[in-house]
Amino acid sequence: MVNTRKVVIVGAGHVGSHVALALIQSGEADDIVLIDILKEKAQGQAMDLDDGVSGALCGNDAQIRAGGYEELNDADILVMAFGRSRKPGETRLDMFDDSIRMAQEVISHLKQVDFKGIMLSISNPADIICEYIRRQMGWERNRCFCPGTSLETYRLLRVLSHRTGYARRSIQGMCMGEHGNSSFIVWSQVYVGGKPFAAFMAEKPELAALSLDDLQTEVKRAGDIEIDGKGCTEFGIANAACMIISAIFHDQKLVWPCSTALFGEYGEENVAAGVPCVIGKDGMEGVVEVALTEEEQKKFHDSCDILRSFLDRAEARLNSYMLGIKRYGRL
C-alpha cells in the first residue's frame, strides 16, 4: 500500500490557498484538504486549485478538496492559516485579541479529533498563537511549531543580495526572535561564500558604505511595505511553509530558523521564539545553539520578554473564559 502525504490547511484565505498551491506545484503533497469557517469559500478555492493540478509543474496529480476537522484523523501535517490580514499601520501583536479568539474556536475542534501528526502554524501573531495552541493541546514541542523568522530570513537574503550583488544562495544568515518588530539579524552568523560578512565588507570598498542598521531597518520594513501596498503577505510565507513541509516528508534534517518552545536554550524558558532548528520526519527535532554576541543575546532576551508577556495575556484570557463557563455555563 502506498502511503499518501496528507496535509490539512485551516484557513482558505490568501496564505492558506498559496500554501496549497506551493504544495501542488512542488509535488510535496498527495492529498490536500482546506477547512474554513466559510465553507463555500473553501470549496471554491479547492476547485480553483484543483484546476491548477492539471498544469502542475511537477506532474503530480494531487487530490485537493474542502473538508472538515475529521480529516485530521489520518493527516500527516496540519497547517494553521486562519485569521484576518494585517491592516496598514498595524503590527502583528495588534492582531492578538482577534487571533486568540479564533484560536480558541479552532482548539475546540482539535479536541474532538485524534490528530497524531505535526502542526505548522502561520496565523499571526505567529509565535504566540502556535505556542498557545500547543499548550492547550498538551502537544510535545517537536510536533507543534511555526515558521517564525523564516520570512525575515528570506528578506535578509533578498536585501543582502540586492545590496551586495551576490547570489542569495551564496549568502548564509538568519534572523531570530519574534516574527515581528522585535526580530533581529544575527550579524555574527552572516556569511558570504563562507566568509564572515564583517570581513567581507572590510575587504570590499564598494560595500564600505553599507550600514548594518539601515539593512536591519530595510528587512524589518519589508512586511509593512507589502501590507501597505497589497494588503497582505502570502507568497514568501507559503514558500517557507512548503520548504518546511518538504523537510519533514523527506527527513532532510534541515537547519532553519523556526519558532519553537524553549526549555533553557539561549537562556530562555516559558516562551516560544525564532531560533535555528533541525527539521526532519519528527518535526522540530532540536534547537541549534549558536554563539551570540552580548548585544545579540540582549536583543533575543528582549524579544522573548515581549512574547512572554503576550503569552501571559493569553493564559489570563483563557482563565477568564473558563471562569465564565464555570460560573454561568456559557460566556
The CATH number of whichever domain residue 89 belongs to comes to 3.40.50.720
Question: What is the domain-level CATH number for residue 285?
Answer: 3.90.110.10
pLDDT-above-70 percentage for the chain: 93
Domain-embedded: residue 17? yes
Q: Tell me: the pLDDT tens digits for 34-90? A: 999 999 999 999 999 999 998 877 778 999 999 999 999 999 999 999 987 667 766
How does DSSP classify residue 37? S
Say yes or no: 243 and 295 in one domain.
yes
The single residue listed with the C-alpha cell 511595505 is: 225
Domain-embedded: residue 1? no
Say yes or no: 159 and 107 in one domain.
no
pLDDT surpassing 90 at residue 24: yes
pLDDT at residue number 223? 75
Q: Tell me: the pLDDT tens digits for 187-229? A: 999 999 999 999 989 998 888 889 999 999 999 988 777 767 8
Say yes or no: 34 and 136 in one domain.
yes
CA dist 271 and 250 (Å) reads: 29
Strands (E), the chain: 6-10, 31-35, 63-66, 77-80, 118-121, 144-145, 171-172, 175-176, 184-185, 191-192, 195-196, 254-263, 269-280, 283-287
Domain-embedded: residue 328? no
Q: Tell me: the pLDDT tens digits for 110-149? A: 999 999 999 999 998 999 999 999 999 999 999 999 999 9
Say yes or no: 181 and 304 in one domain.
yes
Q: Distance between alpha carbon 7 and the CA centroid of its chain, in Å?
A: 16
How many domains are contained in the chain?
Answer: 2
- Using DSSP, state whether 35 is helix, strand or coil: strand
pLDDT at residue number 330? 53
For residue 276, is it left (φ>0), alpha (ψ between -120 and 50) or beta?
beta
Q: Residue type at 330?
A: R
Strands (E), 85-126: 118-121
Average of pLDDT values for 172-191? Answer: 96
Strand 184-185 to strand 191-192: parallel, antiparallel, or no bridges (unpaired)?
unpaired
Task: Please give the grid coordinates belonging to residue 82.
Answer: 486562519
Across-strand partners of 196? Answer: 191
Q: What is the pTM of this model?
A: 0.92
pLDDT at residue number 320? 60
Domain-embedded: residue 26? yes
Domain containing residue 215: 150-308
Say yes or no: 129 and 180 in one domain.
no
Q: Distance between alpha carbon 231 and the CA centroid of its chain, in Å?
A: 19
Active site positions, annotated: 179
CA dist 145 and 119 (Å) reads: 7
* CA distance from start to end of the chain: 48
Q: How confident is the model at residue 1 (pLDDT cuts 50, 70, 90)?
A: very low
